Structure 1
Amino acid sequence: MPSAVVPNRPLPVYFIGHAGVGLLFSESPQNRIVQDNLRAVGEEIRAISPRPKAILTFSGHFEAGEIHGPGVIEAPFVYEYDWPHEDAPELATEVWRHITKSGIKAKRVERGVDHGVWVPFKLMFPPENPLDVPVVQVSTFYGYDLESQIRLGEAVTSLRNEGYLIVASGMAVHSFPSIAEIRGAPSDEARELARQKVLKESRDFDTHLRAAVAKRGAAERRKALVQLQSLPEFRRSHPTVEHFTPLLVAAGAAGDAEGVVPLGVDVVEPGMSYLNVRFA
C-alpha cells in the first residue's frame, strides 16, 4: 500500500544514466562501474525516511507520440506486468490530475514500463531486495522545445512535498551515429582517430552539462541548460533528443535545489556518458 506519510521537506530529484539491456550482462570494467554507481543510488533511495509513497519516473524511452502534436504528454493508467513492481492506479490518476490542473495537456495511455526504467531499477532494486514503493511513469514532450521539458518538471515539483520521489532516466550523452562512425572507419588508424574525436566531443559536452546542472538557482540552471543546444557538440551528442529531455524535466522539478555532480565514479565513453545527479 502507498505510504500516507508526508515528508517534512521536499524529496530529492534524481537523474540516472540508464544504458541498455547489455548493462545487466556485460562484465567489462567500465560496465561494472556503471552497475555499482546505480546500486549506490538505489541504496541512497532506500535510506530515505519516511518512505516515498511512489516513485515518479520520466524516461528517455517514453516520449509523447508525435500524433498528439506539441504541448501534450502521455500518462499511463494501466501497466503491463512485464517487470515485477508495485502498481498503484490511484496514484497514477492523482499524478494525471495534478499535471492537467497545471495547464499541461496529458493523454492517458496503456503501456508497459520501458527499459529506461526496468534496466537501471533491476540493479538499484534487485530481486533479493525489491522496490517497496509503487512506480508511476509519465512521458516527456515530443520534440526539441527544451524549455517545455523544464516547464513539465516545474509542474510536478510540488509533488515532492506530497511523498513523490522523482527519478528521471536518460543519458547525458547518447549517440549511436557517433559510435557507428568509429566502427565504419576503413582502417585501424582511422578508427582510432575517429574514437579520439568522438571521445573528445562526448567529454566536452559532458563537461558543459555538468557545469550547467551545478548552477545555483532555478533561473541560472534553466538558462545554462537551454544554452547547451547551441553547442556544436549538442547534436553530435544527441542526434535525437529523447535521452536528454528527462534531465531537463528533473532540473525543472528540482527548482532551486542544489545539483550534486557527479554521483558515483565518472564514466564517459565515445558517444556515451553515464552521469548520475541528485538535486536536493
Structure 2
Amino acid sequence: MPSAVTPDRPLPVYFIGHAGVGLLFNESPQNRIVQDNLRAVGEEIRAISPRPKAILTFSGHFEAGEIHGPGVIEVNVKKETYIMHDFVNDFHDSAPFVYEYDWPHRDAPELATEVWRHLTKSGIKAKRVERGIDHGVWVPFKLMFPPEDPLDVPVVQVSTFYGYDLESQIRLGEAVASLRNEGFLIVASGMAVHSFASIASIRSAPSEEARDLARREVQRESRAFDTHLREAVAKRGAAERKDALLKLASLPEFRRSHPTVEHFTPLLVAAGAAGDALEGGVPLGTDVVEPGMSYLNVRFT
C-alpha cells in the first residue's frame, strides 16, 4: 500500500510526451530513445519518498465534453477502469495485437471525489464522470510502470477544459497546485509539438524533392516551436512563466505545431500547478524532435 504520509515539501510536477500506441512496438532508433526517456521518468517517480498517495493525471485525450457546457471540468470516479483502445489510426490490419494491450493499475474513486470537491471549493465547475483510461495515460505509463515493476499508487484522471481558452488551463493547474502538499503527484501527458496536418503535408507533396523540402520546413517549424516552449517553461516565476506560455500562441509556428490544442493544454496545466519553482521546468532525457512531433518531457520542482 502507498504511504499516506504528508510530504514535507510539494511533490514535483511532470509533463510527458506520450506518443501513440506505436511507441510500444516500433523499434526505430528514435522510438527507442523516447521509450528510454519515459522509463527514466518512471524510475524517478518510483524513487519519490514518501510515496505519493495518488497520481493525478491530465491527458491530451481527455478534454471535458460539450455535454456539461463550456468551462466545466470532468473528474473520473469510475471504479475498476478499463483501458481505452482509442487510437487515431486503424490498426486492425497492420497491428491487430494493439487491441489486446492492457495495463494493470489501481483506481481510487474516493480520492477522485476528494479532487472533485477540491476543484469545486476552488471555484472550478466540475462534474464527476465514469470513463476508461485513454492512451495518453496508459501507453506511456505502460513503459514507465511495466507489469514487472508496476505502479504502486492509484491513478486519478481529470480532464482539461474544452476549447481554446489557454489561460483557463493554467488556472486549472493553479487550482490543483495545493494538492501537491497533500500527496498528489501531478503528471500531465501531451505533446510539445503535435501536428498530423504537418505530417500530411509532407506525405501529400507531389514529388520526392517536394517532400524533402516540406520535411525540412516542417522540421524547422517544429524545432523552432519546441525551442520557444523550452524557454517559456524554464521561467521560475509563475507569473513570468504564464506570460511566456500564453505568448507562444502568437508565434507563426504555433498553429502549425498545434492545429488543435488538446495536446498543448496539459503542459499549461502542469505549468500552472508548478507555481513559483525553485528551478524552472527542466527537460528530461534525450531531445527528440521530428517533423510535426516533439517528445519533450519536463519536470517542475
Residues 189 and 267, structure 2, Cα contact 8 Å, conserved in 1: yes
| Residue 70 (structure 1) shift | 2.2
Cα distance in 1 for residues equivalent to 2:213 and 2:265 = 30
After TM superposition, list the pairs within 5 Å mapping 1:269-280 onto structure 2: 269-280=290-301
- For 1:164, the equivalent position in structure 2 comes to 184
Q: Is 2:124 aligned against 1:104?
A: yes
Paired residue for 1:222, among 231, 242, 261?
A: 242
Return 62-71 or 201-210, whichever deviates more: 62-71
Could you tell me which runs of 5 or more consecutive residues in structure 1 were left unpaired when the two chains were aligned.
none
Residues 259 and 277, structure 1, Cα contact 8 Å, conserved in 2: no
Tell me which amino acid in the other structure corresponds to 2:246.
Answer: V
Residues 6 and 162, structure 1, Cα contact 8 Å, conserved in 2: yes
Note the alpha carbon deviations across 1:117-141, whole angstroms, 9 max, x for none.
0000000000100000000000000
| Residue 81 (structure 1) shift | 2.8
RMSD: 0.9
Cα distance in 2 for residues equivalent to 1:261 and 1:14 = 10
- For 2:4, the equivalent position in structure 1 comes to 4
| TM-score, scaled relative to structure 1 | 0.98
- For 1:74, the equivalent position in structure 2 comes to 74
- For 1:49, the equivalent position in structure 2 comes to 49
Could you tell me which runs of 5 or more consecutive residues in structure 2 were left unpaired when the two chains were aligned.
84-102
Structure 1 stretches of 4+ with a deviation exceeding 2 A read 66-70, 79-83, 258-261
Residues 7 and 50, structure 1, Cα contact 8 Å, conserved in 2: yes
| Residue 67 (structure 1) shift | 3.0
Paired residue for 2:280, among 242, 254, 259?
A: 259
Q: Is 2:139 aligned against 1:138?
A: no
SS across alignment from 1:78: coil
CA 1:2/1:94 → structure 2, altered by over 3 Å: closer, same or farther? farther
Cα distance in 1 for residues equivalent to 2:65 and 2:284 = 32
Fraction of identical pairs, as percent: 88
Q: Is 2:179 aligned against 1:178?
A: no
Residues 82 and 132, structure 2, Cα contact 8 Å, conserved in 1: yes
| Residue 2 (structure 1) shift | 4.8
Cα distance in 2 for residues equivalent to 1:205 and 1:248 = 15
- Count residues with an aligned counterpart: 280
| Residue 262 (structure 1) shift | 1.4
Cα distance in 2 for residues equivalent to 1:69 and 1:204 = 35
| Residue 261 (structure 1) shift | 2.9
SS across alignment from 2:130: strand
Q: Is 2:252 aligned against 1:232?
A: yes
Cα distance in 2 for residues equivalent to 1:129 and 1:54 = 17
Note the alpha carbon deviations across 1:17-56, whole angstroms, 9 max, x for none.
0000000000100000000000000000000000000000
